[in-house]
Amino acid sequence: MSSSSAAAGQAAGALKGIRVIDVSRVLGGPLAGQILADHGADVIKVEPPQGDETREWGPPFQGDASAYFLNVNRNKRALSLDLSRQEGREVLLRLLETADVLIENFKPGTMEKWGLSYEQLAERFPRLVYASVTGFGKDGPFGGYPGYDLMAQAWTGLVSINGSKESGPLRVGVPIIDMMTGANAVIGISMSLFERERSGKGQHVDLTLYDTGVSLLHPHAPNWFMSGKVPGLTGNDHPSISPYSLFETKGAPMLVTVGNDRQYEKFCTVIGAPELATDPRFRSNAARVENRAVLAEAIQARLKEFDGEELAHKLMDVGVGGGPVQSVDRVLTHPHTLHRKMVVQLGEYRSTGIPVKLSRTPGNVYAAPPEYNQHASEILAEVRFTPSDIEALEQSGVVRKARKRHGD
């Protein structure tokens, strides 16, 4: 991606003029950087000599990068930099002279050791918004421990409520804590940039996988606070609403999502079971939750007569929620997915689209994820490195033209 193509892609974005230095790897930090880039920020992805490890998290691969890497690194420019060396840190400091935001997810203590913590940089760069993503934070009983999405799901209780008696505890099928931490990072960065307009000062945005996981315990945390009852595996049942669960049909299984008494009456009419609407055991949501097993058995007997997808449409037509269990391929080719522009393609690159749609300053996918160190000369020239300076950095290995491989 050239400077001109980047400028064209960023022209209408809400974050036009914001420069982000993204030294993070894997998922939470890179996803935050991608969201900012989608909305016009100039995001420079700084990778270590071996590259972001997710480049190798496959198959499948496209060229030298995995699908995993490609899905969270579009619209960025790439530079390799060995931050373990003083020369590399000096390059980063020069990049920060023109930056608004720094995103990092090193193990706690690493940036301090390198002289690059927020506290160490705040005086030199008072307007810098500095976002740190860690597993558990730098202090407290778990302070300094490394963190990954799956272990965070276990420690924060998500695995304890996900699954059924038959399956046992299950992880959530997507890296939900990593992804939500990335979204929280964008929220924190955006709020800090907004506040900076008043104060003129940046600040530290502290994000942990642990905090994000705990924040996702809705409604289980408030239920426990109020009742003292420890939730167990919920399967497909909602702990506070009924019917709100999975049912088999003669076609695809479907989720029924009845949110109130009026919807329940409509639901009973659509499935041809008006007697379930007048049964005193099911007249209110509280009664239905209390008698959910009996109600589920009655509904299941009726739903075997229906095709799940057809029934879901009939329910939605009258304002009742329902959805067939769709496979990923069907979702990504569904007419509504395409209508909402939730699949994007640039040449061979295909990915999911931009979920936050702004009316005046829409996001834009204008560049495929970068190759390793693709924009080194361009980026370094922008911060006053001469061609001979750049050549010296490359010859010394501070900036690498190709990824360092195991055994190099």
What pLDDT, on the 0 to 100 scale, is given for residue 12? Answer: 76
8 A C-beta contact, residue 46 and residue 397: no
What pLDDT, on the 0 to 100 scale, is given for residue 405? Answer: 85
**CA contacts within 13 A on the Cβ side of 304:** 5
Mean pLDDT value of segment 28-55:
97
Contacts of 136 (CB under 8 A, 6+ apart): 142, 143, 144, 145, 147, 208, 209, 210
pLDDT at 49 over 70: yes
Residue 334: φ, ψ to 5°: -70, 140
pLDDT digits (tens, 9 = 90+) for 325-342: 999 999 999 999 999 999
The two structure tokens encoding residue 91: 């390059």
pLDDT at 14 over 90: yes
Give the end of a domain, one of 324, 354, 374: 324
Q: Are residues 287 and 382 in the same domain?
A: no
Residue 24 lies in a domain: yes
Q: Are residues 304 and 274 in the same domain?
A: yes
pLDDT digits (tens, 9 = 90+) for 260-302: 999 999 999 999 999 999 999 999 999 999 999 999 999 999 9
Residue 42 lies in a domain: yes
Q: Are residues 47 and 158 in the same domain?
A: yes
What pLDDT, on the 0 to 100 scale, is given for residue 8? Answer: 59
What pLDDT, on the 0 to 100 scale, is given for residue 6? Answer: 57
pLDDT digits (tens, 9 = 90+) for 308-329: 999 999 999 999 999 999 999 9
Annotated active-site residue in 52, 178, 211, 237: 178
Q: Are residues 150 and 105 in the same domain?
A: yes
What pLDDT, on the 0 to 100 scale, is given for residue 64? Answer: 85
Question: How far is the C-alpha of 407 from the C-alpha of 342, rounded, in Å?
Answer: 41
Mean pLDDT value of segment 201-211:
98
Mean pLDDT value of segment 93-101:
98
Domain span holding position 285: 254-324
Q: Identify which has the larger pLDDT, 64 or 372.
A: 372
Please count the structural domains in the chain: 2
What pLDDT, on the 0 to 100 scale, is given for residue 277? Answer: 95
Mean pLDDT value of segment 361-370:
96
Residue 221 lies in a domain: no
Q: Are residues 76 and 137 in the same domain?
A: yes
What percent of the chain stands above pLDDT 70?
A: 97
Active site residue 178: yes
Q: Are residues 134 and 22 in the same domain?
A: yes
Helices (H), 280-334: 285-290, 292-303, 308-317, 328-333
pLDDT at 136 over 90: yes
pLDDT at 5 over 60: no
Q: Provide the mean pLDDT of the chain.
A: 95
pTM more than 0.75: yes
pLDDT at 1 over 60: no
Q: What is the CATH number of the domain that holds 200?
A: 3.40.50.10540
pLDDT at 200 over 90: yes
Q: Are residues 315 and 391 in the same domain?
A: no
